[in-house]
Structure 1
Amino acid sequence: MTMLIRTLATAAAAAVLATGAFAQSAGEVRNPPPFFPIKNEPAPKLIVDPPLPEPLARGAVLIPYRTENFRILPVFGAAASNVSPRVGHLHVTVDDSPWRWADTGNDTNTIIVVGLPPGQHKVKLELASPEHHVFTGQTVTFTVPETGSHPH
């Protein structure tokens, strides 16, 4: 029985090692772990796509985005500015309004705006530190079409 257990344990260990040799690590696909500071962090990047066409045709604005060298988390204040890798939130402004909201992460990487009247609009997205310092931003311009009925 001991020999059977040793054989099964050896086979399991070999399978784990072989799988690990061919698979991408989580660090290669996602952000590095939050436990160790990163020296000389590269500047944060924001990549914003145009609104998805199918929902836009119904009057709903879904704007996909992603970040590099930056994690969107619900943290604020001076202490959070020292976290590495860099963290913060998005400032979202619609049509140059005097107010905006902060998106603190929802794992969908999509800003959703509904209820805009038909016509030309723009949404400005900005990567902001926990203390609201803006690193970078992008503005997306689009047209909400006339729809036969209200989408919601």
Structure 2
Amino acid sequence: MFIRTLAAAAAAAVLATSAFAEGTGERRPAPVFFPIKNEPPPKLIVGPPLAGALARGAVLVPYRTENFRIVSVFGAGASTVSPRVGHLHVTVDDSPWRWAETGDTSTVVVVGLPPGEHKVRLELASPEHQVFTGETVAFTVPETAAHPH
């Protein structure tokens, strides 16, 4: 009986707090998963490959986004939420194929490239693969780099 009374009191407190907050005229931001008009455009900022890793033959390209979240969602429904969501398209050396990076790790990793000049292109893409913006970084994998991968 005591537990029921305690549970009822807790539920009443939650409902009363919610009702009070709604009735105060307090303006709250819109929920994050509803469409918002006039959202700023997404931005992609890509840094040069990390020098220490590059000297060992591994290419670690740091990046960050603004007004865009990288998540593993695809399809038309996901294109209507805010903040904007999508994924990265990653292309190495103008290859005809690319991969979709859906983990927001803030670093793209490429290993096993032979010594020489290379480039990696990162593009912000919508859940329907519409490209918003992209950047390319060029770099040289040194001859002395070990390639154990």
**TM-score per shorter chain, which class?**
0.7 to 0.9
SS at match of 2:73: coil
Q: Residues of 2 paired with 1:139 and 1:149: CA distance? A: 24
Task: Specify whether residues 33 and 122 from structure 1 end up closer, same or farther in structure 2 by C-alpha distance, changes over 3 A only.
Answer: farther
Q: Residues of 1 paired with 2:34 and 2:79: CA distance? A: 15
Q: Residues of 2 paired with 1:78 and 1:95: CA distance? A: 30
1:96 to 94, 97, 116: 94
Q: Spell out the pairing of 1:2-151 with structure 2 (5 A cutoff).
A: 34-105=32-103, 107-147=104-144, 149-151=146-148
Larger Rg over CA atoms: 2
Task: Specify whether residues 135 and 122 from structure 1 end up closer, same or farther in structure 2 by C-alpha distance, changes over 3 A only.
Answer: same
Structure 2 gaps of 5+ residues are 1-29
Task: Specify whether residues 99 and 61 from structure 1 end up closer, same or farther in structure 2 by C-alpha distance, changes over 3 A only.
Answer: same
Question: What's the C-alpha RMSD, in Å, of the aligned pairs?
Answer: 1.6
Whether the 8 Å contact between 2:35 and 2:80 is mirrored in structure 1 is no
Runs of 4+ with deviation above 6 angstroms: none
SS at match of 2:129: coil
TM-score calculated relative to the size of structure 2:
0.76
Structure 1 gaps of 5+ residues are 1-31
Give the deviation of 1:39 after TM superposition.
3.3
Letter in 2 for 1:66: R
Q: Residues of 2 paired with 1:33 and 1:71: CA distance? A: 15
Superposed CA offset, 1:21-64 (max 9, x none)? xxxxxxxxxxx962454331000000000000000000000000
TM-score calculated relative to the size of structure 1:
0.74
Q: Identity over the aligned pairs, expressed in percent?
A: 81
Give the deviation of 1:146 after TM superposition.
1.1
Letter in 2 for 1:72: I
Give the deviation of 1:126 after TM superposition.
0.2
